[in-house]
Amino acid sequence: MDEFLNITQQLLTGFGENCFLFIITLVSAIPLGLIISMGSMSRFVPLKAVTKTFVWIIRGTPLMLQLFVVFYVPPLMSDGEFVFSRMNAAIVAFIINYAAYFSEIFRGGIEAVPKGQYEAGQVLGMTKTQIFFKVILMQVIKRITAPVGNEVITLVKDTSLASVIAIPEILMNAKDFSMEGLIWPLFYSAVFFLLFCGVLTILFSFLEKKLNYYKG
Amino acid sequence: MKNFKRLTALVMAGVMSAAVMTACSTDKSKTTDTKDSSSDWSYIADKGEFVIGITYFEPMNYKGEDGKLTGFETEFAEKVCAKLGVTPKFQKIDWDSKEVELKSKTIDCIWNGMTINDERKKNMDISTPYMENKQVMVAKKDVAESIKTADDMKGKTVVAEKKSAGEEVAQGEDFFKSATYISVDSQAKSLLEVKSGTADVAVIDYVMSIGSLREGSDYSDLAVVESQGFAPEQYGIALRKDSPETLKKLNEAIQAVADDGDLDKIADKYNLKDLLLVKGK
């Protein structure tokens, strides 16, 4: 029993790293993703091209590789002069990666709003900014709740990828136990992910219900 | 609409350049002036900290009952660093990335029961061999007893860690000619393969087998195949390529710790005394 509590505690410490990475990534990647989606819908062609290329590169390469690039390339290029801390490197890589995915979800959501909604706003004499924030945005949020929820749940599990740059997250801790001859902590770590994702699932279905005020 | 788009364009450009800037300028405080003092040793001495790349594995580096890092390599490194006049900092790494870690100076040495081989000698500076190691076969107890000659390997699946000394043995030795070989990403996983029955025999470090097969571990139903041992090899500490001064100081410090009798004492504590290669005067 002592062993069980001790291992639970150590896995929990590791899961703290996962949660930290998860929260920071989520709160930064969503606004950044919105900005990027604006870029990829821009009528200013160079900006649109740059943004599209950026999204293509980020979505087209494995997150694991991006982690390596962010953590190892700066010190390799500068002979050890510029180094991110491991966690900062992971945060940067995750934010950029998830912002790219979110931006595409947002773009889809924004483009799915019928033109008539913009025209209605114009008829009422609203400015473009007013139309976006007062008429369009809520409709977008409604449409993208499910895909965003999907992405958020993927993020929870993706945080364990941070172990490739030796962040002592839960799976890495669990693997250490198997080095000492204990296998079950590796499988036990699933419980932590399941609980966390369970809470998120409930949260998102609640959110969807709340937003289900008008079927359109 | 145009104004709004233009504003977004500006913000976008700002965010992107900010991202690039931070990517280039983070954590300057940690770096020391490597430009004037080009040698590896002055880089380490200046920061006063010797960052040791490790993975957790018993009995070399592992978390003790009290949650503190302990083990043969841990205590050995602490003594050596005291002689060198630097503070040891143990940094857990992903073993697969150890060469990149060393090169990018996120660690200063790899000191974790690393077997010396030609490939590593070519890419890194390696210390005096301080301990002997051999590769052993581990199998379920009944299987382990049944393996006597190379013929007994027919139809068996052998597993070892990718790029490890165990892999060299499993692929190079005639003994394994009739067996199928698969590789996994860690020694621990190769034991898991045997335990779960997806492989029959794992080739791992003898030192690792001491820690993993102990009584009360999940692997206690596995055993070392006694009938067969493979060519002994040696453990060394890896430093960045072309750092003769660090290498010289490190070797001297290792000898000094041995001369004090401390190395013997530490090895004795972890039952590794027979394997020691550096003897005190």
Reported as a single tens digit per residue, the pLDDT across A40-57 is: 999 999 999 999 999 999
Local confidence band at B27 (pLDDT 50, 70, 90 cut-offs)? very low
Strand B135-140 and strand B157-161: pairing?
unpaired
Q: Residue range A82-102: average pLDDT?
A: 95
**Which candidate in A32, A135, A180, A188 is best for mutational testing of the B interface (most B CBs within 10 A)?**
A180
Q: Which pair of structure tokens corresponds to residue B187?
A: 């020694």
Residue A170 pLDDT:
95
Please check whether the two domains, B37-132+234-275 and B135-231, share a CATH topology.
yes
Size of interface A-B (CB pairs under 8 A): 140
At A161 the three-state DSSP class reads helix
Q: Is the pLDDT of residue A23 over 60?
A: yes
Q: Flag whether A13 is in a domain.
A: no
At A113, which CATH number? 1.10.3720.10
Q: Which of A138-142, B163-167, B186-190, B234-238 has the highest mean pLDDT?
A: B234-238
Phi, psi (degrees; rounded to nearest 5) at B111: -140, 80
**Is the Cβ–Cβ distance between A132 and A38 less than 8 Å?**
no
Could you tell me the residue ranges of all domains in chain B? Answer: 37-132+234-275, 135-231
Q: Name the average pLDDT for chain A.
A: 92
With cut-offs at 50, 70 and 90, classify the pLDDT of residue B209.
Answer: confident
- Is A45 within the bounds of a domain? yes
Domain carrying residue A63: 19-210
Alpha-carbon distance of B85 to B48, in angstroms, equals: 8
ipTM above 0.95, yes or no: no
Location of structure tokens 């890194």: B124
Chain A residues touching residue B192 (CB < 8 angstroms): 178, 183
DSSP character at residue B151: G
For residue A102, give the 3-state DSSP assignment.
Answer: helix
pLDDT digits (tens, 9 = 90+) for A163-188: 999 999 999 889 888 877 788 999 99
Place of tokens 């070399």: B60
pLDDT over 80 (residue B24): no
- Would residue A2 count as lying in a domain? no
pLDDT at B30: 41
With respect to residue A199, please indicate whether it lies within any of the assigned structural domains.
Answer: yes
User: Which candidate from B12, B22, B105 shows the least CB-CB separation from A38?
Assistant: B12
Q: Give the model's pLDDT for residue B6.
A: 56
Specify whether the CB–CB gap between B112 and B53 falls below 8 A.
yes
Distance of alpha carbon B134 from alpha carbon B223, whole angstroms: 15
Residue A93: predicted pLDDT: 97
Task: Supply the angle between the helices B262-269 and B244-259 in degrees, to the nearest 10.
Answer: 80
pLDDT band for B36, please (50, 70, 90 cuts): very low
Query: Quick check: B141 and B227 in contact, CB under 8 A?
Result: no
What CATH topology corresponds to B37-132+234-275?
A: D-Maltodextrin-Binding Protein; domain 2 (3.40.190)
Contacts of B1 in chain A (CB under 8 A): 128
> Taking CA atoms, what residue in A is nearest to B44?
A80
Burial of A214 (0-12, 13-18, 19+ CB in 10 A): exposed
Neighbours of B192 (CB within 10 A): 21
d(CA A152, CA A139): 20
DSSP per-residue codes, B246-272:
HHHHHHHHHHHHHHTTHHHHHHHHTT-
Distance from C-alpha of B66 to C-alpha of A188, rounded to nearest angstrom: 22
- H-state helical runs in chain A: 2-40, 45-60, 63-77, 86-111, 115-123, 128-130, 137-158, 170-179, 184-210
The total number of structural domains in chain A stands at 1
- Which residues, 6+ apart, have CB-to-CB distance to A31 below 8 Å? none
Q: Is the pLDDT of residue B202 over 50?
A: yes
Is residue A116 within 8 angstroms of chain B, CB to CB?
no
How many other CB atoms are there within 10 angstroms of residue A216's CB atom? Answer: 9
| CATH code, B135-231 | 3.40.190.10
Least confident of A115-124, A147-156, B53-62, B71-80: B53-62
B227 touching chain A per CB within 8 A: no
Question: What pLDDT sits at residue B148?
Answer: 87
Q: What is the pLDDT of residue B13?
A: 58
Q: What is the mean pLDDT of chain B?
A: 85
Give residue B1's pLDDT band: very low, low, confident or very high (50, 70, 90). very low
B52-61, B157-166, B234-243 — which one is most confidently predicted on average? B234-243
pLDDT at residue A2 in the model: 82
Task: Evaluate if residue A17 carries a pLDDT over 80.
Answer: yes
| CB-based contact, A166 to chain B, within 8 Å | yes
Query: In this predicted structure, what is the pLDDT of residue B34?
Result: 43
Residue B136: φ, ψ to 5°: -125, 155
Tell me which of A114-123, B14-23, B237-246 is least confident. Answer: B14-23
A146 at the B interface (CB within 8 A)? no
Segment A133-149, tens digit of pLDDT: 899 988 999 899 999 99
Q: Compute the distance between CA of residue B69 and CA of residue B62 in angstroms, rounded to an integer.
A: 6
